[in-house]
Chains A and B, each alone.
Chain A
């Protein structure tokens, strides 16, 4: 049964010209400069200094800390956005979470206002407070230092701190979740609190430790949710005050309406579309009071909000224009915060947003077409605004969703040049079922952050727990457990000299030895950090928005969710596979070069005439991932399967498995920039390929490329991947969107899980690098998320420029322009 009542799904009649509020807010959002907000850091530090009771359970301490902040959080209205609430006290704020990496800002407290790239403004008095009052308190108390202290500075921590092996993301966050907002909308926070109170009361006479722990959890939930209600109450007061003092009748009306909304929701059940939208936003703000702003994803909003939309439309309380305006306001609110990034990190990894993902379309829990009018409204808003966050993703089931929907998503991608990303329902539902999820739960998946999958509000996947640099174990296999960048230090096990090996299979075993050793270390550290999170950062507030914790009486961090897992993503996949291919073909099949000779040239960055000759051979003659070459297909599949089996054999501290994935944010550029040459002919310090994408220039045919990636999909990639494809824009957009949609369908039928696009040419990106002022709003897909091209570091810009560009008409790669090309 179709849920579409719109006359025209493109909603082309709704433009920024006839939506002046959105036009103004959008223009403000581009004009705003980031300001560092110390509000949360100030209040949580004061709470811990003066009010904390160590005798309370970890959950209750966390809840009291969060409520203390939310109660004091300033209710501010920065502009004419129709939704009340903001994640920080600034119009575009970078909040500080001293529990994690906030102290990395310390060296530049006096200079952050003047730095060259992506300035983040900091008030001098705030810098003073951070230096003398806030940061000193946290010197020995953030997640990283507590891990060091509690586990006696383990070797796995040193590996992480050297930054070139893996990143243990729990030092910076867990976040990465999709809350379940339906119970909140239906019962209100008061209703959820009443349920928690009832459970707590039922446990009151039980003496067991387990009962006491459960009762503490329910108590913590109530305290946390009260914090959100306090904040909503203060928003109402402020809106009422503004309504009183303004001379503008229109502003008075808007403020009065906002006050009314905040008096009702999220405390009570939402009754209208507007109330539902604002209730979700205020709860998002509340969640950010407890959890750092990293990939906290609202999920399937077209499904969650649809009953409210439908009811209001039918009752004549809402029209499409107003719905677009409200959703636009929500999109702009979601983009009201960025992460605090110290200058050095900005240089290496900068340009990322906070990646709150919205998921549209796909099928419902019964496997039927879930696309509705609101899906198209949200697509139109995404098209009109063209902003970095939220990270909008479109699910597509090629059997149950309509071709019109696929074409419309394609059209939005062509118009925005980059968003949304496409996700394959068939493959992703299968992969989640493979992780033990029921089919109904798997069908209700949403995207988290970049590309990760989770059953909405049931799955706590800590999806960025490990970011593994796959090139590290490759180099360790080549150099007997050492890496050129770490000199003579023996890092991994001392494996045989590759020059003494007799077959590629023997080298594969050596590679696996180093890979497994490094992954074991990364998992060990993740487990240590998980234990520290259990002590200092439980999430009773977020737990209230999940299926599982409220039933089990257990916080998410202790395994309360219905499904638990830890995610491990991989950097340098294509470069490693191509290096394996090159070794197999050149050393063991063709016997063109000896292994010792190859290693010598790799060490010397292929210098000299002979080196360049070898490099060109490896680059042009060795099999490449992204083509039909059997060696390349075999090695890619072997790496993916081996990683899957290895991770899945581990159970995390919450009782769930580890899930491998392949997305890289900007790490492939940063890590590539400091790494030596590789056997695939890659010269030293060149960027690695992004996500699951073949190396630039390695896959000349689009169909072969998509098939080679697609055949790896499904069971073995439960965390999903980011595949980046660049297409030449065409004049006939209608014809292009048709071909675009057909290509998507073919790729999905072959098993591809995800794909994202940049619709731009080499020349355009070269020009954007040269003349950033000409492209202030140019948005690009990096590896799982969107960024403004001008904000990216030079290496990342180069990576985007050199990504293979395909001509969709003939399906062939477009040659990179000769030097001096436009």
Chain B
């Protein structure tokens, strides 16, 4: 698989646009897809999932969004469905809360949980690892 610099640039744009979008699925999808692509093209970033098995379920409170990220054998799959036996399920109130929770420059995991904007079920350490990978992605974003 090859992603041209132009294709990569478009993906970053998509993420950037989705940061201001009201539609959570757009942001989440863009984030997970970009993450998946960066694991393919960036060797250093791929190190994060080399020996990592992790199953993440993302849901919105209204039930409109169900996405999953599955890490296995050094690869990442993005699925638009409920998965079995997730290590952690993250249920969020709306797009902005997920954004604050995951990737905002002022990432606020505890605050989001305290305000019950986001609820989790399962092993929080998987969430912290995902938070690191999402933040790393953000730091890799080309600066204007």
Contacts and interface: CB of A to CB of B under 8 A. Distances in A.
Given A148-B123, A348-B110, A674-B114, A107 B51 contact: no
B41 interface: no
A158 B119 CA distance: 10
A597 interface: no
B129 interface: yes
Contact of A344 (B107, B126, B134): B107
Contacts of A629: none
Interface stretch (A28-36, A132-140, A210-218, A702-710): A132-140
Contacts of A286: none
Interface in B57-87: none
B102 to A, nearest CB: 9
B29 interface: no
A319 interface: no
A111 interface: yes
B120 to A, nearest CB: 7
Nearest to A131: B132
Given A110-B139, A139-B123, A145-B123, A344 B108 contact: yes
B13 interface: no
Contacts of A148: 123
Contacts of A111: 135, 139
B132 A106 contact: yes
A670 B114 contact: yes
Contact of A107 (B52, B121, B123, B131): B131
A135 B129 contact: yes
B121 A164 contact: no
Contact of B135 (A108, A139, A142, A144): A108
A342 B110 CA distance: 9
B132 A107 contact: yes
A163 B108 contact: no
Given A104-B128, A108-B135, A110-B136, A136 B114 contact: no
B144 to A, nearest CB: 19
A355 B51 CA distance: 39
B9 interface: no
B50 to A, nearest CB: 8
Contacts, number: 86
Given A136-B51, A139-B123, A485-B116, A344 B129 contact: no
Q: Which of B47, B115, B124: most chain A CB closer than 10 A? A: B124
B116 A162 contact: yes
Interface in A433-489: 485-487
A329 B132 CA distance: 39
A139 B129 contact: yes
Interface in A668-698: 670, 674
A705 B34 CA distance: 60
* Interface secondary structure of B, over-half rule: helix
Contacts of A347: 108, 110-111
A109 B110 CA distance: 16
Nearest to A109: B132
B115 A106 contact: no
Residue from A105, A158, A162, A344 with most neighbouring chain B CB atoms (10 Å): A344
B99 to A, nearest CB: 14
B113 interface: yes
Contacts of B134: 107
A343 B125 contact: no
Contact of A485 (B115, B122, B136): B115
Contact of B111 (A104, A161, A344): A344
Contacts of B108: 344, 347
B109 interface: yes
Interface residues of A, number: 37
Nearest to A111: B135
B129 A110 contact: no
Interface residues of B, number: 29
Nearest to B51: A136
B29 to A, nearest CB: 21
Contacts of A140: 123, 125
Contacts of B47: 132
Contacts of B109: 107, 342, 344
Residue among B52, B111, B114, B115 with max Cβ neighbours from chain A (10 Å)? B114
B131 A145 contact: no
Given A139-B129, A164-B116, A343 B121 contact: no
B17 interface: no
B107 A486 contact: no
A733 interface: no
Contacts of A106: 125, 128-129, 131-132
A104 B129 CA distance: 9
Contacts of B132: 106-110, 131
A106 B135 CA distance: 10
B21 interface: no
A345 interface: yes
B48 A131 contact: yes
A60 interface: no
Nearest to B139: A110
Nearest to A349: B110
A103 interface: yes
B119 A162 contact: yes
Interface in A696-749: none
Interface in A346-403: 347-348
Interface in A277-334: none
A347 B115 CA distance: 14
B116 A107 contact: no
Contact of B124 (A110, A132, A144, A674): A144
Interface string A115-146: 00000000000000001100110111010110
A35 to B, nearest CB: 20
Contacts of B122: 153
Contacts of A674: 114-115
A131 B133 CA distance: 10
Given A131-B132, A162-B116, A142 B110 contact: no
Contacts of B51: 136
A348 B129 contact: no
A104 B131 CA distance: 10
Given A106-B131, A110-B139, A163 B125 contact: no
A161 B139 CA distance: 29
Nearest to B113: A163
Nearest to B111: A344
Given A108-B107, A108-B135, A136-B51, A161 B128 contact: no
A348 B111 contact: yes
A163 B108 CA distance: 14
Contacts of A486: 116
Contacts of B128: 103-107, 135
Contacts of B126: 139
A452 B60 CA distance: 43
A161 B91 CA distance: 14
Given A106-B132, A342-B110, A347-B111, A138 B116 contact: no
Contacts of B123: 139-140, 145, 148
Nearest to B103: A107
B92 to A, nearest CB: 13
Contacts of A142: 125
B69 to A, nearest CB: 16
A190 B119 CA distance: 52
11 contacts: A106-B125, A106-B128, A106-B132, A110-B135, A131-B48, A135-B128, A135-B129, A138-B125, A145-B123, A344-B107, A344-B111
Given A138-B125, A139-B129, A344-B111, 16 more contacts: A106-B125, A106-B128, A106-B132, A108-B135, A131-B48, A132-B47, A140-B123, A142-B125, A145-B123, A153-B121, A161-B124, A162-B113, A162-B116, A162-B119, A345-B110, A348-B111
Q: Which 8 A-B pairs have the closest CB atoms?
A: A107-B131, A344-B110, A106-B128, A139-B125, A106-B132, A103-B125, A107-B132, A674-B114
